[in-house]
Amino acid sequence: MGKKARGGAGGRSAGGGTGSGTGRRAFLVGGTVAAVGAAALAREELTRWWWRLPGMEKDRVEGELDHKGAQWAGASRANWRRADRPDDFVIDRVVIHVVQGSFATAVKVFKDPGHGAATHYVVRKDGHVAQMIRELDVAFHAGNRDMNERSIGIEHEGFVDRPEGFTKAMYEASARLTAGICARYGIPVDREHIIGHVEVPGTDHTDPGPHWDWDRYMPLVRRERAKLPSAD
C-alpha cells in the first residue's frame, strides 16, 4: 500500500474467460470433429487443443500454499484475477510494500471486496507470513497492469516513517519468502527484479519508503536463495 491504496486499476477488465466461453468452444470443437470425420483427429490431438482453450486452468485447491509455513487467509475475489502463471504470464518481479498499518489491518482490507487491491503475502513483525492469493493468480497491488501480471506482491506490517517497526524477524522471514519466489521462477536476486512499490512505473505510492533497509535486505535474500535449488 503506502498511500491510500486504490491499486486495482486496470486489473479487472481482462478477467473472465471461464464459463460460457469454454462451453461454446467445446461445442465448436465437437462440430469440427463431426465435419472432418470422427477418426480424422487423434484423441491425443484433441486433448492438446482442449488444454489451450481459454478458461482452462490448472486445478487449484482452496487454501493451498506456495510458501511453506505460511498461513492461508484468502483475499476477496474482487482483489485479484485468476490466471495461470507462469504459463500465461512470466513472473520476473517481486514488489515490496509497507502497509501503513498493522498486519491485521492488511488482512482485513484485503478480504474486503470494496478495497480493490491486495498482495499475495503479508509479513508480520514477528516473521509470521499470511498468503492471501495464489502465486499463479494476478494480485492487484502495484497499480499497474503489466507489473501486476509479472509480479508477486509482499506487504510488510508497519509504517514507512517508523524504521524501528522493521524488525529482524520481519526482514528474515521476508527474505526467505522472496528467495523462495526467486527460486521457483528463476528470478535473479537483484534490485532490478526485487523492487519497491515506489519504483513501479507511474506509481504515486512511496512505500516501502526510505527506511526500508535494502542494504540489509538484499544480502539476506541472497543468503536464503543460496540454500535453495535452482529453478530448473
> By the criterion CB under 5 A, which residues form the site for Zn ion?
1-2, 97, 197, 205, 207
Q: How far is the CB of 198 from Zn ion (least distance, A)?
A: 8
User: What's the gap between Cα 143 and its chain centre?
Assistant: 13
Q: How far apart are the first and last CA of the chain?
A: 33
Q: How far is the CB of 2 from Zn ion (least distance, A)?
A: 4
Q: How far is the CB of 85 from Zn ion (least distance, A)?
A: 20
* Cross-strand pairs, 152: 94
Which CB atom, from 197 or from 225, has the smaller least distance to Zn ion? 197
Q: How far is the CB of 27 from Zn ion (least distance, A)?
A: 44
Distance CA 191, CA 212 (A): 13
Which CB atom, from 81 or from 197, has the smaller least distance to Zn ion? 197
Which CB atom, from 85 or from 197, has the smaller least distance to Zn ion? 197
Residue with cell 480424422: 40
Distance CA 149, CA 87 (A): 12
Which CB atom, from 96 or from 189, has the smaller least distance to Zn ion? 96
Query: DSSP E strands: which ranges in the chain?
Result: 71-72, 80-81, 93-98, 121-123, 129-131, 138-139, 151-156, 194-196
Closest C-alpha among 148, 152, 122, 203 to residue 10: 148
Q: How far is the CB of 110 from Zn ion (least distance, A)?
A: 12
Which CB atom, from 181 or from 183, has the smaller least distance to Zn ion? 181
